[in-house]
Structure 1
Amino acid sequence: MLKKISLVILIIAYVAAGINHFIHPDGYIDIIPYYLPYPNILNYVAGACEVAFGLMLIFPQSRNLGLTLLIIMLAAFLPVHIAMVQAAPTRVNGYLITPLIAWLRLFLQPLLMMWLAWHHETKK
């Protein structure tokens, strides 16, 4: 039962986060490192991927792939969080990101990866 509730939370969270890339793009664009080209496009691609990968978690046939893709995406976002640690204190979309908040965001990434991995099913 706990695992089902956890899966539903992941689905809702990733689909909502993905949609939020389209509703509030500035907050995401502000944290894309300067050395990555086309931040507007990267933001929308990331949002679309979060929605698509989150929806893949609904179906048992695509769940493992969706979990794997989300883990890879979280790993790909690590440079964003490292840059945020380096820049802290800073303002992102009007919010103050203190060093503590930046470090917490960075350490949250591996925890999210482990949470996703917990749902990965092995073939018997």
Structure 2
Amino acid sequence: MSLYVMGSLYILAGIYHFISPKFYLAIMPPYLPFHNFLVVASGLAEIVLGMLLFIPSTRMWAAWGIILLLIAVFPANLYMAYGAKFQEMSPWFRWGRLPIQLLLIWWAYRYTK
């Protein structure tokens, strides 16, 4: 059950990159290049990796891919937590994303074996 919830969450999160790209573009740290490309690529990666979790023969690689993706997007979450332009957002939302990333990494790690 947990596997299907996780896969579905990544698929939905990836789709949301295309529904509301402005949110993801806003949290991109300025030092990263090609913001539009990175938002599209991370959205596609979430969709594909979420789907690959459902296939037993690709599950382990999908879980490792999710872990790498979560590490790769961590700078955006840090930028949102610290960034002055996000101060109007709830601190729970801004700062809560950081420990949730660790929880998501642990969740994906459960499927790497």
TM-score by length of 2: 0.92
Contact 1:29 1:39 in 2 (8 A): yes
For residues 21 and 45 of structure 1, the distance between their equivalents in structure 2, rounded to whole angstroms, comes to 9
Unaligned runs of 5+ in 1: none
- Of residues 21, 24, 36, the one that matches 1:25 is 21
For residues 23 and 48 of structure 2, the distance between their equivalents in structure 1, rounded to whole angstroms, comes to 21
Q: Which amino acid aligns with 1:105?
A: R
- Of residues 22, 29, 36, the one that matches 2:32 is 36
Among all aligned residue pairs of Structure 1 and Structure 2, give the percentage whose two residues are the same amino acid.
34
For residues 79 and 90 of structure 2, the distance between their equivalents in structure 1, rounded to whole angstroms, comes to 13
Bigger proportion of residues as strand? 1
Contact 1:88 1:102 in 2 (8 A): no
The aligned residue for residue 68 of structure 1 is 64
Return the offset for 1:31. 0.5
For residues 64 and 17 of structure 1, the distance between their equivalents in structure 2, rounded to whole angstroms, comes to 20
| Cα displacement string for residues 45-90 of structure 1 (whole angstroms, at most 9, x for unaligned residues) | 0000001111110111100000000001101111111111211571
Q: Which structure is larger by alpha-carbon Rg, 1 or 2?
A: 1
Q: Are positions 1:101 and 2:93 aligned together?
A: yes
Unaligned runs of 5+ in 2: none
Q: Are positions 1:49 and 2:45 aligned together?
A: yes
Q: Which runs of 4+ in 1 moved over 4 A?
A: none
The aligned residue for residue 2 of structure 2 is 6
TM-score by length of 1: 0.85
More moved, 100-109 vs 25-34? 100-109
